[in-house]
Structure 1
Amino acid sequence: MKIVLIGGGSFVFAPTVLEDIIVKQRLTGCELVLVDPNLEAAEAMAAAARHIAGELKVAMRTSATSNRREALAGAQFVIISASVQGAHRWQIDYDILSALGMADQARECGGMGGLMNGFRSITLLMDICRDMEELCPEAWILDVTNPMPRVVTAVARYSTIRIAGFCNIAYRGAEGYTFLPKLLGRKAADVSIVSAGLNHFAWLLQITDNATGEDLLPGLRAYIEEGSWAEQDEETRRELRIMKRWLEEYGAIAAGHADHHAEYLPPQRDIHYTTSPPYHGSAEERSRRMEELRQIGAGGVNWNSLFEHGSWEHPVLLELALHSGGELSLDILNVKNEGAIPGLPADRIVEVPVKVSNRTILPLAVPALPDKLLELCRAVSDVHELVAEAAVTGSREIAKLAIDADPAIVNKAVAYTALEQMLEAHADLLPQFNGSKQCF
């Protein structure tokens, strides 16, 4: 099995892939190729992987390259965790939006920031898809790049490459759903939870006590609605106030962090909007992690430290099930709806639990969303569709339609001005908006 990781120099996600392949699954015979424009980082990660595999006697091949096409030839799975100049480009957007009085729109996934981040990420992903259609047309993309639903929508609509999107933000913990059970004095292992909706916009639909089968949703709703949270810290009380407001307005409990959900909603006074690049690692931290990688690769330090701050997403598990034909259940995956959420079109990208069987991903039917929430999810999904279409075609008119449709953007006229300024600022990454090319 050949796995390509694009973003192989990442200090957060790449170690998680290494841990899953080498330490947890012991994938003897696997070939892993780490691709990154920062070849030094990718080579250091590959050296660490080879050292760990050697210690654990896992016979596999690991290499690093900055040549994407060279890596993709013959691949079966392509994991993508990459953002082109992420922090730098986010800062450009923030400065433009701040000057126009729209600093709260400098978001990663929604609003004007999510629009531009979507354009940049989709352009990258579609370029990768064109290479894959030539070099490994049967391979799967397992995407971790944000904005998740917009990226997956673009690939699913405008490419022949199969794709699924990974983002477990609704868990709010590395070990599964942690925040919501804790409000009831329970641990993640004590309950079964079903959440569904859209990525970074998923909602709690079921919560059940594993031991007794008791429906815990009425009790959780009552806890949030009563507004007596004296035992909680101030940050949790802030979130609960927001969740209570949304519960009253939309009829459901937000499964993820309120600040993530708020990216897709109009500005609200009690939301913490981002004021610094939403990407992991300062320059100082990256320098320290690079030195740590070199020492691990040389056998100078214990390699367990590499896995202390990993990702919550584990696409390697899906790879194994798809490769072997085995069965797997996942609480959260971004795939086509195909009837899982009643009332949303079958081809829309949604976030739902799935079952994998016979090399097929099957979205599982979930309880119906409340009417008002369904209407809102449909509106947000409509924006995802328009952003994907604008990014692929390079249409400024469709980009404006996305702004018109986006409930997160209130001042449409100023947003049009911001759009033109940001398209000019990022013209080198987005040539399709200047008539130079199209992604399809």
Structure 2
Amino acid sequence: MSFKIAIIGAGSVGFTKKLFTDILCVPEFKDVEFALTDLSQHNLEMIKAILDKIVESNRLPTTVTATTDRRKALEGARYVISCVRVGGLEAYADDIRIPLKYGIDQCVGDTICAGGILYGQRNIPVILDFCKDIREVAEPGAKFLNYANPMAMNTWAAIEYGKVDTVGLCHGVQHGAEQIAEVLGAKSPKELDCICSGINHQTWFIDLRLNGRKIGKDELVAAFEAHPVYSQQEKLRIDVLKRFGVYSTESNGHLSEYLPWYRKRPDEITKWIDMSDWIHGETGGYLRHSTETRNWFETEFPQFLESASKPIDPSRRSNEHASHILEALETNRVYRGHFNVKNNGVITNLPADAIIESPGFVDRFGINMVSGITLPEACAATCISSINVQRMSVHAAISGDVDLLKLAVLHDPLVGAVSTPEEVWQMVDEMIVAQARWLPQYADAIPAAKERLSKASVKTRDWAGAARRNVRSIDELRAEKEALKQAV
């Protein structure tokens, strides 16, 4: 088979390499063309060198091209994969820093909450540019696979306003299922079957079967509380399991910022999180992790290039959805996964226009969702709160309506638990002024926001957050990796 796959934001080097090797694990895909595009020529050169090394070492006929001209990369593409971060780490730092001044302590800040909403404002105009190019120069009927956060907002905009065949992809379900299988004593995650449904980063394991045996709440709670590691790292997640009756896909840190109860006061934050790794609730944890990862890659690039000479091993193919979806569409080998699509009645007690994440099957006829799923009422209520925020955020990003943007932030569960309306209004002004270069839709609103800020009356605080760690140096990272090797 020969067709073209374009990857936008291919400078996300580690993730692009994973997608690339996964796809080449499919025997029929050896002749595929990969077209890489990114704003950074430097990042493109690094990832192309790595992928060229993989192709050369495995003696494949695969073609790899790289260009900063996105439209050229998309020409004739059958599949377009996006893993972009608009504004990079510079804008992301503001997503964490500015809300902290108003008492809003986020672990990740890329889905909802103040940071995730502003992230969506930056991404959506660019997503619509991608869609325009896909409609005009990609292969007719091209499929857009979005990996970029905020997943629901980006996918909502691409489907509703970009008018492109779009599916949003995430790995939260897979990671959660691996955890559950482990605590239940399974020899392999494949022994666990699940139905997981909700919205991205708030999906719920509503039916679990271990080797065909149904797993109930009490057994799952007992298994997690008995686990020597997860009982400490997932305290908040386990508490939600006890109260809601079902386990959430999302990590302790991520889940904490989608709810109004656990991060509203510094003493509450430290009670529910674990500092053994960023993902368990650390203030700005993913920002620190992303910064360290970027610095590490830049420094250790020769090692990454050397490792690319290893043979591709199909047994090590990851559980990221993209390669499996492409394989099902092209070969008709059916694939079951969990996908982000427009609801339209798939989940009976969530709004029809929402982007939901739920089970589906893929074959030559496309992605076929399992319909008629009803969430437990508490899960639906939590999802609906976020959906309302997502809807307003998408509409604000499309219209450039700064008042609607402020209302979206005001209705965010964690923001509402921490901040007053006056604080929210000033915080949003500060964020759009700081990020003006990435917010073209708000250009007309920026001067008035600056004027309001010059007369600001709301007091802010100089605060690093309840649980902040400093970015580690390369030497510190090396020492930590060496210590882990010695421990093993």
The TM-score with structure 2 as length reference comes to 0.79
Cα deviations across residues 26-63 of structure 1 (Å, max 9, x unaligned)?
61321111111222332332233233223333212111
2:345 to 323, 339, 343: 339
Shift of residue 73 of structure 1? 1.4
* Aligned residue number for residue 274 of structure 1: 283
Name the Cα RMSD after superposition: 2.8
One-letter amino acid of the counterpart of residue 286, structure 1: F
Kindly report which structure 2 residues correspond to 1:320-359, keeping only aligned pairs within 5 A, or say none. Answer: 320-324=327-331, 326-359=332-365
| Shift in alpha-carbon separation, 1:322–1:346, aligned structure 2, 3 A | farther
> Aligned to 2:415, what secondary structure does the other structure show?
coil
Q: Are residues 1:284 and 2:295 paired?
A: yes
1:242 Cα deviation from its structure 2 partner: 2.1
Matched-pair identity in %? 25
Going from structure 1 to structure 2, the CA distance change for 1:111 and 1:310 (only over 3 Å counts) comes to: farther
**Corresponding residue for residue 125 of structure 2:** 123
Q: 1:426: which partner in 2? A: 435
SS class of match (2:257): helix
Q: Deviations over 1:214-269 (max 9, x none)?
A: 21124534526xx9x35523xx2245542343234434222332222222112512
Match 2:326 to one of 315, 319, 334: 319
Aligned to 2:252: 258
| Structure 1 residues 295 and 261: CA distance shift in structure 2, 3 A | same
Aligned to 2:388: 382
User: How far does the alpha carbon of each residue in 1:83-113 deviate from its partner, in whole angstroms, 9 at most, with x for none?
Assistant: 0232211112322222233233871222101
Corresponding residue pairs, total: 422
- Rounded to whole Å, the distance in 1 between the matches of 2:334 and 2:424 is 44
Q: Structure 2 vs 1, CA of residues 20 and 406 (structure 1 numbering), >3 Å: closer, same or farther?
A: same
Match in the other structure for 1:30 = 32
Q: Per-residue deviation at 1:18?
A: 1.7
Determine helix, strand or coil for the equivalent of 2:436: coil
Bigger shift: residues 238-247 or 359-368: 238-247
Q: Relative to structure 1, is the Cα distance of residues 394 and 380 closer, same or farther in structure 2, using a 3 angstrom cutoff?
A: same
Change (3 A) 1:77 1:159: same
SS at match of 2:290: coil
* Unaligned residue ranges in structure 2 (runs of 5+): 263-267, 274-280, 446-488
Q: Does the CA-based 8 Å contact 2:50-2:305 persist in structure 1?
A: yes
TM-aligned CA distance change 1:406 to 1:427, over 3 Å: same
Q: Specify whether residues 263 and 305 from structure 1 end up closer, same or farther in structure 2 by C-alpha distance, changes over 3 A only.
A: farther
Shift of the alpha carbon at 1:309?
A: 11
Structure 2: how far apart are the matches of 1:392 and 1:105? Answer: 27
| Paired AA for residue 200 in structure 2 | N
Q: Does 1:135 pair with 2:146?
A: no
DSSP 3-state at the match of 2:13: coil
* 8 Å contact kept, 2:183–2:227: no
- What residue is the counterpart of 2:310 in the other structure? 303
Conservation of the 8 A alpha-carbon contact between 1:43 and 1:63: no
Q: Give the whole-Å Cα distance in 1 for the aligned partners of 2:62 and 2:134.
A: 23
Cα distance in structure 1, aligned partners of 2:402 and 2:112: 18
CA contact (8 A) 2:108 2:254 kept: no
- Give runs of aligned pairs for residues 146-161 of structure 1, distance below 5 A: 146-161=149-164
Aligned residue identity for 2:142: A
- Deviation at 1:22? 2.8
Conservation of the 8 A alpha-carbon contact between 2:123 and 2:154 = yes
Could you list the per-position Cα deviations for residues 261-309 of structure 1 after superposition, in whole angstroms to 9, with x for gaps in the alignment?
Answer: 222112512242432515264443122343345556xxxx733699999
How many angstroms apart in 2 are the aligned matches of 1:284 and 1:157? 37
Deviations 1:85-144 (A, max 9, x none): 322111123222222332338712221011111111222211211222222252111011
Counterparts in 2 of 1:21-60, with a 5 A limit? 21-25=23-27, 27-60=29-62
Per the alignment, do residues 30 and 38 of structure 1 end up closer, same or farther by CA in structure 2, a change over 3 Å counting?
same
Structure 2 letter corresponding to 1:167: C
Structure 2 distance, partners of 1:231, 1:78, is: 41
Q: Decide which structure has greater helix share.
A: 2
What runs of 5+ residues in structure 1 fail to find an aligned partner?
A: none
Distance in 2 (alpha carbons) for counterparts of 1:360 and 1:310: 22
Aligned match of 1:202: 203
